[in-house]
Amino acid sequence: VSPIVIGKVEYVDYKDTELLKKFISDRAKIKGRSINGNNARQQRDVGRAIKVAREMALIPFTNRVTTQRRERRSDERDERSDGPPSRPAMPPPAGLTEDDGVVDEIGVIAEGGLSEEMTLEDAGESNDGAAVDDGAAVDDGAAVDEALL
């Protein structure tokens, strides 16, 4: 139920700031009809009165709402530096250098990413089946199995 009906207001006057403040949110926005309980005619009258009262500086256009800032979390974020990330202090293990290639759980893989017996074209053809006869595909598979052992 609208405050206009409760107060039995005949005319919404722009000078009645106490009534108009009931229709304004905390951020000085005009509240909608569903929140106020106004009908269309009452909402139109309230809107006009609020706009005139704002122009006459009786009510503010905006209210600044100050919010409390949350405290900063005290985790690893505080330890950031502006420079690039630091390099590890320990040298690589004695058996490996950058030229040896990458070691994973399967075994040593050559620098190109494929084993020495198998090239990129061979890998594409062995997966294709139509470009290579069955014997060649089996041989490539055996070479790959041997390289992985």
Q: Tell me, what's the pLDDT at 87?
A: 73
- pLDDT-derived band of residue 44, with 50, 70 and 90 as boundaries? very high
Q: Tell me, what's the pLDDT at 12?
A: 95
112 CB neighbour count, 10 Å cutoff: 11
Q: 133-136 contacts: CB < 8 A, separation 24 or more?
A: none
Q: Tell me, what's the pLDDT at 52?
A: 97
Supply the Cα-derived Rg of the chain in whole angstroms.
38
- Mean pLDDT along residues 9-37: 94
Please state the domain count of the chain: 2
The H or E element containing residue 109 is strand 108-109
Question: Higher-confidence residue: 44 or 69?
Answer: 44
Residue 65 lies in a domain: no
Residue 113 lies in a domain: yes
Domain CATH for 18: 4.10.640.10
Residue span of the structural domain in which 135 resides: 102-148
Query: Which residue among 34, 55, 76 closes a domain?
Result: 55
- Annotate 64-77 with b (16+ C-beta within 10 A) or e (fewer): eeeeeeeeeeeeee
If DSSP codes are grouped into helix, strand and coil, which group holds residue 103?
A: strand
Residue 27 lies in a domain: yes
Residue 49 lies in a domain: yes
